[in-house]
Each structure stands twice: as structure tokens, then as C-alpha cells.
Amino acid sequence: MRRPSIRTQLLKGTTPLLVLTVVRDSELYGYEIAQRIRERSGGAFAPSEGSLYPALHALEAEGALQADWRESDKGPKRRYYRITDKGGALLAEHEAEWASFARGVARTVADPTNA
Amino acid sequence: MLEPDAAHDPNSSPDETPLPAEIDEYLRRLGAALDLPAHVRAEIASEMAGHFRDSIAAIESEGLDPELAAREAIARLGSPTELAAELTSAHRTTRRLLVGAAGGVFHASLGAAGGLLLGIAIVAAAVCGAAVVTGTLLRPPTEFVYASLPALRAAIAGLPMVTALLSWACCLAAFVAARRGVAVSTRISRRTPAAVRRIWAIAGFVTLFVAAVFVVSAPQNLLSALSLLAVPFAFAAGALTNSTPRVSLPRGKAIAAICVLAILSASFARNVPAWSGPPPDVADTPQAHAAQLREFDRVAPAWAYVDGRPVLAEGGGLWGSGVIRQAVGILDPDPWSTSGPAARALSQFKDVRFEAWRAVRFDASPDIAEWIPDPAYSAPYATATADFNTVQFGPGHAEVEFNVGRVRTTEWIVFVTGIGPDGRRYRLNEPEFNMGGGPLVSSFTGTIWQWLTAST
């Protein structure tokens, strides 16, 4: 069995953070969210589409996102997600946690002897 | 804000192109694997159809042909069963479950209130209908208006028929409450209707059954007990019934109204004596009266002090839901005097006491129905010393009150006995009861469990 890459495992854990980050600026629908993440990462990564929608629905169930059906720029109806106050607070929490985690990982990787 | 399910049908918008067959098949498998309510499945299917359109268009713009683009879009989204499992899990949060349960209970309460009002209205209408049917058929209308309605009030006040009537209204309330509770709970909690119905049916049935049997205290008889027990069944039926009934409402209402009217008419004809027609207007013949009195001799022979007159006269009987009262007075020209012949006769008796006997109907003659002590019992249910000098009534009068609210027996005879000069016990008042010839009536008041375990 193939071992999942570090990127895949990281993406899985950070999908809610990434979703909330891109939705904070504007209301987006599912496919746009994936595209926006890809663009903002410079094409480095994007969450798998199979895990994006469960994450969106989980965040909605949690009250962090609110969804509405309306016409998209292309015409057909799409389900747009927007961040709620609760989502904003959750995002701040995730960002702080990620920053702390990333600093710790960076320090460890940069200097393994740094205890 | 959720839109109507039809709006989420991928094929419903004329401005959207049809999806490739393999995408339709993917969406069908996804929908089948989603263990969520129908409106949520439809919404997810619409969202994923939109996603496929965007994804295919983007892939096609990279140079792939439509068929390959569709396959690539499916590959990017992954297995429909895995996606369905993750989406199902995402929707079934504990928060939604709790909110769904609370919302369901709230809406069930609203439904119960509405259903109770509707049930009372239906029962009241049916009672009036039954009154018209039975009253009109059995009596002239004027007599019905002036005699039956007051008689009805007296007959059903505090009696188990009221419990039964309210229970029928509660059945409708429980049915409506369960339906509303399940509908709201399903919508909010995102659990499947079948699972929610089962939980509501079991929880509601158990709760209402325990309440009906052990908590609700009311006047009881077999009819009221069965009616109360129907409430949890009505709730379970409401919970398990599909939320979108297929019954044609006008026809269903007509059938329901006819059934209720028929049941009520039959019940009233049996349970409300006043509506079974006026008592027979016949002479109380000496032969019939003698036959009746002989039945009382089985318990205690009558003591007549002069000219065949008894010592005591009844001062009327009163009864409520759980008690029976009987007053007697010494049968002298001056009832407050203690020196008359009846008073002197009474003074010869010892251990003068009231006796409460279970009563049964006794047909003294084809035209006369009286009540006598139940031959199945050889002793009174209860006795109480008769005090003929009470503060409340003065000399020459006595009254007793027996608490019979925890006995299933509902018809009673109370009379006074005493041990005469010859050492035998005699009956001191003639058994004329309640000025109408009927027994003292009580009703059992308590829970069904207490009624089931009570003595007869």
C-alpha cells in the first residue's frame, strides 16, 4: 500500500483553515473555492475535490459557513458559501494554531539540535 | 436558505446543458449512498452537478475531449460511495441532533396544542351530534332541551366519561404532535426519516404509556382506561405514519367524523343513563316493593316500630367523584325532637351504624328497577357510627361520608342498622335511595395502574 505523502496529510488537516481563509474575502461556491486555493498557493496545492465538499458541509453544520443558492456569474445556480461570525472566530483560532505549529516545524527542521 | 427540492434538480434549469451519462450515473450512485433526508440528497446532487459542469468545462479548456473530461472530473471527485459516506458524516453532527430533538419537541408541543384544540372541537361537535341523535330519537325535543342537558351535566360531572372524552381529544393531539415532531426533527437533524420515526415512536410511546398508566390521575373505568391507553398508540401511529399522507382529506374527514359520532353515540347510550330514555313512569306496586324488601332481609331485616313505618327516613344522598354521602333523620313528626315514638324506638338499639354496601340492579318487576346490596358480598364494604346529635345537623339527624374513590365499584347503598332488644341486627331505614330510586354513584379516581390493582 502506498504511503500518503506529507502534502496530502497536511492538506487533509488544513482544509478547514484554507477554506475559511479564501471564503473570508468573498462569497464563493465549491469549485471556485478549490480554484481560489490553488491560485493563492501559486499552484502548489489544492484540496482534493472529494474532501472539499465534506469539509464545506461540515463547516456549514458547525455554523462556520452559511450557504445560499443563487445565480453564478456563468448563469446557472450555484451554492455560495460565506463565512459567519462564528466562522471568523474559528478562522482566527485555526490561524493562531497553524502559525504556532508552522513555527515549531520550521525551527525543528532548520536546526534539529535546537531543543 | 434552502430552496425547494425541484430547484435543485440538475435537469430543471433550461439554461444548463444535460450532463454526460456517466456523470448522471455517478450522481445516481451518490444519491443512493447518501443516508440523509430526501431534500438534503437533492441539494447535494444539485451542488455536485454544478461542480461537474464547472470541472468538465475547465478540463475541456485544457484540450481534453468531452468524454475524457467527464472521466477526469469523476476521477478527481473520487468514489461516490466514499464521498457519500463523508458527506453523511459531515451532516450528522451532534449539534444538529440536539437541535433537531429540541426543535422536534417544540414543534410537537405546538402540534399537541393545536391537535388538542382540534380534538376537543371534534369531540364537542360529536357529543352535540350524539346528543341530537340520541335525544331526538329517544325523547321529544323539548324534553331533551330542558331535561337532558342538565341531566347530562350531572351525569358526567367528575365521572370517567369525561376522562374518556378528553383522552380521545388527546389521541388526536398525540397523533398531530408526533407527525410534526418527526418532520421537524428529521429536517434539522439530517437523520433518515425511518430512523427518526422509530426513535420518536418508541420514546413517545414509552413516555406516554408510563404517564397514562402511572401518572395521570383521573376518574377511571374500563372505557376511560382503554381511552387513555390509546393515547400512546396514537402517538406511535403518528410517528410511524408517512409525513405526506395519501388519504383524500375530505373523504378521510368524513369517515373519521362518522366513526367518532358512531362511537360516541354508542358510548353515551351505554354510559349516560339520562340519555337512555326517561325512567319508566309506572306505579310502585306493593308486590314489587315487597319483593325488593325481601332482598334486603338477606342483609338485615327491617325494624318497623308502628304501622309498618321504619325508624329513620333518608335525608337525601350526595355523591362526588370519590365519595358518597348519606343523611338520615328520625321519622317523627318533629324530626328535631328526641322524645317522639321513632326516637324512643331508636334509643333501644345499640351499635347504630351506617353501612355502605356494594349495589347491584334488581328488577323487582318488569317495570321497576331497584338497587339492592350485591349478593356476592356478605358484609358491608365499610361502616361508620351513626351520631344522631351532630353539631352540623342537630338532634335527630345523622350524616356519613364514605371515601370509595379507590374502589372500582361505582354503585352503592348506604343504610343504618342497629342491634335490637333481641340481640339481632336490624335495618332502621327503608331503602329508598336518592329520591330517584337509584344507587349512590361514585367513580374511581386515580391512575390506570391504581385502577387495575384496586379492589372491586
pLDDT in tens, B56-113: 988 888 888 888 899 999 998 889 999 999 999 888 888 888 888 888 888 888 888 8
Contact list in B for residue A50 (CB cut-off 8 A) is 76-79, 82-83, 86
Contact list in A for residue B190 (CB cut-off 8 A) is 61
pLDDT at B436: 47
Set out the domains of chain A in order of their start, with CATH numbers. Answer: 6-110 (1.10.10.10)
With CB atoms and an 8 Å threshold, state whether A69 touches B7.
yes
H runs (alpha helix) in B62-93:
66-77, 80-91
With CB atoms and an 8 Å threshold, state whether B51 touches A30.
yes
Higher pLDDT pick, B146 / B128: B128
- pLDDT band for B280, please (50, 70, 90 cuts): very low
User: Residue B336 is placed in which grid cell?
Assistant: 328535631
How many CB pairs below 8 Å do chains A and B form together? 78
With CB atoms and an 8 Å threshold, state whether B87 touches A49.
no
- pLDDT band for A70, please (50, 70, 90 cuts): confident
pLDDT above 60 for A99 = yes
Q: Is B355 helix (H, G, I), strand (E, B) or coil?
A: strand
With CB atoms and an 8 Å threshold, state whether B51 touches A55.
no
Tell me the range of A84-88, B66-70, B157-161, B406-410 where mean pLDDT is highest: A84-88
pLDDT above 50 for B1 = no
User: Residue B14 is placed in which grid cell?
Assistant: 433550461
* Residue linked to cell 306496586: B285
pLDDT in tens, B288-342: 666 667 777 778 888 877 777 777 776 666 665 678 888 888 877 776 666 778 8
pLDDT above 70 for B185 = yes
Contact list in A for residue B41 (CB cut-off 8 A) is none
Which candidate from B44, B58, B93 shows the least CB-CB separation from A62?
B93
Q: Is A71 on the interface with B (CB under 8 A)?
A: no
pLDDT above 50 for B355 = yes
pLDDT above 60 for B248 = no
pLDDT above 50 for A23 = yes
The CB density around residue B258, as the number of other CB atoms within 10 Å, is 12
With CB atoms and an 8 Å threshold, state whether A50 touches B86.
yes
Q: Is A30 on the interface with B (CB under 8 A)?
A: yes
Q: From residue A93, how far is each of A46, A82, A100, A102, B18 by CA, in Å? A: 22, 18, 11, 14, 43
| Nearest-Cα residue of chain A relative to residue B78 | A50
Mean pLDDT over each residue of chain B, to the nearest integer:
77
pLDDT at B232: 95
Q: From residue B140, how far is each of B153, B155, B264, B265, B269 by CA, in Å? A: 19, 20, 21, 18, 16
pLDDT at B247: 38
- What is the arithmetic mean of pLDDT over B125-140? 66
Set out the domains of chain B in order of their start, with CATH numbers. Answer: 5-91 (no CATH), 94-276 (no CATH), 286-453 (2.60.40.10)
User: Do residues B307 and B426 make contact, with C-beta atoms less than 8 angstroms apart?
Assistant: no
Higher pLDDT pick, B11 / B366: B366
- pLDDT band for A112, please (50, 70, 90 cuts): low
B17 to chain A, closest Cα gap in Å:
10
Contact list in B for residue A30 (CB cut-off 8 A) is 47, 50-51
Q: Is B93 on the interface with A (CB under 8 A)?
A: yes
pLDDT above 80 for B433 = no
CA dihedral B229, B231, B237, B238 (to 10 degrees): -170
Q: Can you tell me the distance from the alpha carbon of B148 to that of B140, in angstroms, rounded to the nearest whole number?
A: 10
pLDDT at B6: 42
* Residue linked to cell 474532501: A51
Q: Is B25 on the interface with A (CB under 8 A)?
A: no
pLDDT in tens, A27-69: 999 999 988 988 888 877 777 888 899 999 999 988 999 999 9
Sign of the CA dihedral B306, B310, B315, B316? negative
pLDDT above 90 for B231 = yes
Q: Can you tell me the distance from the alpha carbon of B163 to that of B156, in angstroms, rounded to the nearest whole number?
A: 10
Contact list in A for residue B2 (CB cut-off 8 A) is 69
Exposure string of B171-200, with b = 16+ CB inside 10 Å and e = fewer, is bbbbbbbbbbbbbbbbbbbbbbbeebbebb
pLDDT in tens, B25-68: 999 999 999 988 888 889 999 999 999 998 998 888 888 888 88
* Residue linked to cell 437523520: B191
pLDDT at B252: 64
pLDDT above 80 for B8 = no
pLDDT at B262: 67
- What is the arithmetic mean of pLDDT over B338-362? 84
